[in-house]
Amino acid sequence: MSNRFASEGVAIVDGDEGFLAESKQLFEGDVFATTSAQEAVDLASRSEVEVIFWGPSFATSPGLLSIETYDINPDVVMVLVAPVDIDNDVLRRAIRTGFRDIVEEPLKPDAVSSALDQASRLMKHRASATPSATAPPERITRRDGKLITVMAAKGGSGKTVVATNVATLLARWSEPGTVAMVDANLQFGDVALVLQVDPKQTIVNAAKEGEGLDAAFLATVLTDHPSGLKIMAAPLEPAFADEVPTPTLTHILDLMKGMFDYVVVDTAPALDDRLLAVLERSEQVLFVVDMDLPSIKNAKLALET
């Protein structure tokens, strides 16, 4: 089987001719590769390009600022190819600029495959969201799910272990695809690590949809676990937590309650507005407490708040 990808509808843009030449080898046919951003933008405006890979020369604040000056077709999926040590401020700006995916340089087959798969899912979602004159809209079964929140007033209490065990057991005892887990510890979430999955999408991808977020798109950013559990992973970097404000998090939880019978939420060990909003929506709360004085003291304070 070939490790090369179809070049139709794909453009690669970068100021480094060497990067362009190396990246072109991953595609079959004559992929459009250019040092001119304007050329790629013009092709996108004529719908001749659906995915644009922006090279490492754009993975800087000035580079992203230059992209923002173009009137880019909003239907185009943009992927940023960035160095491993990219600055967090640049990552945040890339998300706000409209990038759907960020992959490490140099481009590799796995990264290209993941980016193109995500682009395909996004375009299919957009197509299905467009009303058809001949076909009725697809219906998604509405469920009356239960939200189970696992919390702790102190870090290191084993909260995530409890949460993941509850979620995987529910998944094994339930029908496939009826149990989900949300990692709401947005800065230092460990659910993906504990469950040994490698999420390609996180809650940040869902948050980027804003008011347009619906159940159909939400389903595309969930990660599958062998138990049958569906996982909404935490951001890959602590800096991305700001991209998921509390109203967006609660909207995601409300949607997921309509998609699954059970939604287990792992939370950060902090009694803040985000946790309080999650607790208000919870049918059950599991409070994990260590048998030491600081943990008991913090638990008492939390319960009295």
Q: What is the CA radius of gyration of the chain?
A: 21
pLDDT band at 77 (very low <50, low <70, confident <90, very high): confident
Q: Which residue, 129, 159, 188, sits at the end of a domain?
A: 129
For the chain, what is the domain count? 2
pLDDT computed for residue 138 by the predictor = 44
- Give the CATH number for residue 34: 3.40.50.2300
Task: Determine contact, residues 233/184, Cβ cutoff 8 Å.
Answer: no
Same domain, 122 and 52: yes
pTM to 2 decimal places: 0.64
pLDDT band at 229 (very low <50, low <70, confident <90, very high): very high
User: Hey, which residues does 82 pair with through a beta bridge?
Assistant: 104
Query: Which residue did the predictor score with more confidence, 1 or 161?
Result: 161
CB-based burial, 65-98: b 16+ in 10 Å, e otherwise:
eebeeeebbeebbbbbbbeeebeeebbebbbebb
Same domain, 96 and 15: yes
Same domain, 207 and 107: no
Same domain, 120 and 158: no
pLDDT computed for residue 137 by the predictor = 42
Q: pLDDT per residue over 248-292, tens digit each?
A: 999 999 999 999 999 999 999 888 899 999 999 999 999 888 777
Q: How far apart are the first and last CA of the chain?
A: 60
Q: Which of 47, 287, 183, 43 is nearest to 12 (CA)?
A: 43
Which of 3-7, 34-38, 174-178 shows the lowest mean pLDDT across its residues?
Answer: 3-7
Task: Determine the average pLDDT of the residues in 132-147.
Answer: 58
In angstroms, the CA 110 to CA 197 distance is 16
Q: Which of 158, 218, 216 is nearest to 182 (CA)?
A: 218
Same domain, 86 and 183: no
User: Hey, which residues does 12 pair with through a beta bridge?
Assistant: 33, 53
Same domain, 9 and 66: yes
Q: pLDDT per residue over 232-252, tens digit each?
A: 999 988 888 988 999 999 999
pLDDT computed for residue 130 by the predictor = 52
Which of 5-9, 14-18, 113-117, 165-169 shows the lowest mean pLDDT across its residues?
Answer: 5-9
- Residue 48, both tokens: 């001749």
Q: Which residue, 64, 99, 129, sits at the end of a domain?
A: 129
Q: Which domain holds residue 19?
A: 5-129
Same domain, 171 and 300: yes
- Give the CATH number for residue 292: 3.40.50.300
pLDDT band at 142 (very low <50, low <70, confident <90, very high): low
> Would the pLDDT of 89 be above 80?
no
Strands 262-266 and 179-183 turn out to be: parallel
